[in-house]
Homo-oligomer: A and B are copies of this chain.
């Protein structure tokens, strides 16, 4: 990739703005960065940013829309693979683990914290992201149960919500410790305990 810089020189300006703003949003939150921050990283003026994204609400909506679309494509890619259901769940957890690199939080988890301060269009996108995650997981879980390779208590919908919420939560906490290994340990332990798919290790000590 010749000529590429940290700000992705080969891309359109709008895309480069989104790339920088995305990093700031996932690191500092929607209320934790300004147009001035983006401008200084890209070495352009604030006015130029307002040409591409007139208001911060416009920018925020574009950011969460792009993020959600990219995430759904990644889910579709996992879906298309020929792995077994447990491997799909591991791949799902790995999506979050990748985001956690560079001390980034899941964008929608971050926005969930700031939910009460968000413009309405952003709120709707955040909830849609969680809904779509739950639907995807529900399908994987249900198929795994029908196929006899996954076993879990309760409904697939409840298990799916638990997985989404636990991913967001352990990401949130592990990021504060700057410890991606903590995330991997907790996420792996959740999947082991929830759906099995491995030789059932006898609980120790009893």
- This protein's copies in its complex: 2
> What size tier do the contact residues of chain A reach?
35 or more
Give chain A interface residues in 135-184, CB to chain B under 8 Å: 145-146, 148, 150-154, 158-159, 161-162, 164-177, 182
Among listed A50-58, A61-69, A112-120, interface-contacting one: A112-120
The chain B residue with its CB closest to the CB of A206 is: B148
Interface: A97 (CB within 8 A): no
Q: Decide: A146 and B205 in contact? CB cutoff 8 A.
A: yes
Contacts of A177 in B (CB 8 A): 127, 130
List residues 15-50 of chain A with CB under 8 A from any CB of chain B: 27-29, 31-32
A104-132 to B contact mask, C-beta < 8 Å, 1/0: 01000110111111000001001100100
Q: Any chain B CB within 8 A of the CB of A5? A: no
Evaluate contact between B162 and A173: CB separation under 8 angstroms.
no
With beta carbons under 8 angstroms apart, the residue of B159, B164, B172 that contacts A168 is B172
Q: Which 3 A-B pairs have the closest CB atoms?
A: A169-B169, A113-B113, A165-B170
- A190 near B166 with CB under 8 A, answer yes
Shortest CB-to-CB span from A132 to chain B, Å, is 13
B206 touching A151 by the CB < 8 A rule?
Answer: yes
- Which of A123, A150, A203 has the most B CB atoms < 10 Å from its CB? A203
Contacts of A159 in B (CB 8 A): 189
Task: Determine the chain B residues whose CB is within 8 A of the CB of A167 once the complex forms.
Answer: 169
Q: In the bound complex, how far is the Cα of B10 from the Cα of A31, in angstroms?
A: 34
At the interface, yes or no: A1 with Cβ under 8 Å from chain B? Answer: no
Which B residues are CB-close (under 8 A) to A95? Answer: none
**Is A75's beta carbon under 8 Å from chain B?**
no
